[in-house]
Amino acid sequence: MAAVLEHEGYDVRILDCFNRSMQPETGRPRFLRYGFSDDMILQRVAEYSPDVVGVSCMFTPYLKDAHHIARLCKQYNSIIPVIFGGAHASTFPEYVLKDENVDCVVVGEGENTMLDLVKRIEHGEGLTGIPGTMYRRNGQVRREQPRPFIENLDELPFPAWHLLDKEGLVEEAKRSPFVMRRPVGAMVTSRGCPNNCYFCSVRKSRKWIARSPENVVDEMEFLKNVHGFQEIQWVDDNCSVSKRRLGEICDEIMARKLDVKWVATSGIAHWTLDQELLDKMKRAGCYRLIFGIESGDEETRKIIRKTHSLSQAKRVTAHANKIGMWTAATFIIGFPHETKKEIDKTISVSKWLGLDLAIFYLLVPQPGTDVYEIFKGQGLLDLDRFLDPTCDDDEGQLGREYGNGIATRHFTRDELQEHLSRAYRSFFYHRIRSLLVDPFQLVRKVHSWEDLRYLVGLMMTGLRMFARLLSLKTGVVSPVGMTRLRAQNVRKIIVTQDVQQ
């Protein structure tokens, strides 16, 4: 959005409020605050004096933080238009507009909608008739027609990286043991996902729209040659819907002799891969694969709408390991119907697949998903009241609800934590035994000094994780995620990001 607005001649700032500090929240001893204080945010807003503020409200558990930013902006200047967007705002715009500090919600893609809004505000015009918006008029909430998806993503400018704190990004990447090259950039090669997993919160973009292979590699070159990023993370919801397109991207990378490492951090659909494509991905710089397996129980997989063959996933994993790629998969524990039998099958499959790493999570049933409605229907969970930003309940309750898993009819939270810990212990014991039997598994990963350095780093990380598991008496807390809350910014537009509690 910043790049689109700059292209139209507007002055834009991104206020990245996240830094590496963690301090007790003033007046609330049970809270820790990541990032800038309120005074620091207000100081930066006052220095820039924006005409419009945009707030990206991405994750439902952190909605209170986004609304807090809106309140701060109105505290600075009550007539500044505050516009919300992002996944949470798009899913629950009616709730967002209960906050009098929010003037408008962008529902869906934001580039063209934000530009239309800024032009209207600049010329003192009303908001009526802008597709993809919801707003208040004369005390009533009005919703306009949906805005059609952007069909030609190649027409969009590359993101405005020059507005971000690159030094902070570099420092953040240094702490990740799973990164092969630094610094690390990120990009989106496609939007949407045609799948319909019942736990997924990607509800507004079932249509998959992809950028052309040439345009994707153009941006990869831009990130490397202009901004110096040596590794690029694809953060698509589903980058490999088209096997042909993925192969063409690899061909384009190799044709340009672009020396860059890349990974699809949100996962890649194993059923779209074969040996020929994996070989091509490896030569083009992809070094790590993450598959969203989620369950090893066939009946559970049908329920959650993961119907592709596990045997095919095993074949893909075996070939990826053979050619020196690193392999990982994610698994979810705590589906509402699951018993120990189903969980044991998931743990067993995580070992059977031959992965380098298995990543286990406790289920987080996000409001708006099918699985959330199941929990709600069974009387196990009802967070609807917390969606209202004017709710007087204790701030942070959503985060606390999710932090240690959600109890089901079969397990308490503590029991789910123990199953999570057991899954990790079982997988790590299996990997250690496997490597003792065949240590050349790791040797096959090494084709350069860079590979060797990466291997040593991963081994040290694995040993630390294993030691931590052995030291815990109960479970491992499943990561909810270090989410980032953004506030975006006519002529002057400001973006705030990453205030968390």
Lowest mean pLDDT among 36-45, 462-471, 480-489: 480-489
What would the two tokens of residue 327 be?
Answer: 């392999």
Beta strands in 90-182 (DSSP E): 104-106, 133-137, 140-143
DSSP secondary structure letters along 212-270 = -HHHHHHHHHHHHHTT--SEEEE--S-TTS-HHHHHHHHHHHHHTT---EEEETT---G
Contact, 136 vs 128, CB < 8 A?
no
pLDDT at 16: 83
Average pLDDT, whole number, for the chain? Answer: 87
Beta carbons within 8 Å of 132's beta carbon, 6+ residues apart:
106, 107, 108, 109, 112, 113, 144, 145, 146, 147
- What is the residue-wise DSSP string for 416-478? HHHHHHHHHHHHHHHHHHHHHH-THHHHTT-SSHHHHHHHHHHHHHHHHHHHHHHH-SS-PPP
Give the pLDDT score at 474: 47
pLDDT class of 491 with cuts at 50, 70, 90: very low
Predicted pLDDT at 396: 63
> What pTM was computed for the model?
0.89
- For residue 31, pLDDT over 60 is answered with yes
One of 3.40.50, 1.50.10, 3.30.870, 1.10.8 is the CATH number of 2-152+486-497, namely 3.40.50
**Residue 61 confidence (pLDDT) above 90:** no
pLDDT exceeds cutoff 90 at 291: yes
- Tell me what the mean pLDDT of segment 429-451 comes to: 92
Indicate the pLDDT class of residue 489, thresholds 50, 70 and 90: very low
Query: Which position has the token pair 């392999």?
Result: 327
Across the beta sheet with 261-264, the strand order is 184-187, 231-234, 261-264
Per-residue pLDDT tens digits for 337-391: 999 999 999 999 999 999 999 999 999 888 888 899 999 999 988 888 888 888 8
pLDDT of residue 407: 92
pLDDT above 70 as % of the chain: 88
**Range from 71-85, 101-115, 356-370 carrying the lowest mean pLDDT:** 356-370
Mean pLDDT along residues 161-171 = 80
Q: State yes or no: pLDDT of 77 exceeds 60.
A: yes
**pLDDT number for residue 156:** 97
Q: Are strands 288-294 and 326-333 parallel, antiparallel or unpaired?
A: parallel
Closest by CA position to 466, among listed 4, 101, 139, 458: 458
| Most confident residue range from 133-137, 171-175, 203-207 | 133-137
pLDDT at 18: 72
The pLDDT of residue 494 is 44
Tokens (6 digits) for 58: 């991405």
Decide if pLDDT at 202 tops 70.
Answer: no
pLDDT at 472: 59
252-261, 453-462, 472-481: lowest mean pLDDT where?
472-481
Classify 149 in phi/psi space as left (phi over 0), alpha (psi -120 to 50) or beta: beta
pLDDT of res. 32: 77
pLDDT at 223: 96
* Angle, helices 413-437/340-352, rounded to nearest 10 degrees: 20
Q: What are the structural domain ranges in the chain?
A: 2-152+486-497
Both tokens assigned to 479: 């990561």
Q: What is the pLDDT of residue 490?
A: 39
* Range scoring the smallest mean pLDDT among 24-33, 155-164, 322-331: 24-33
Question: What is the Cα–Cα distance from 402 to 430, expressed in whole angstroms?
Answer: 29
d(CA 282, CA 275) in angstroms, rounded, equals 11
* pLDDT tens digits, one per residue of 246-282: 999 999 999 999 999 999 998 999 999 999 999 999 9
pLDDT for residue 499: 35
Is residue 17 over pLDDT 90?
no
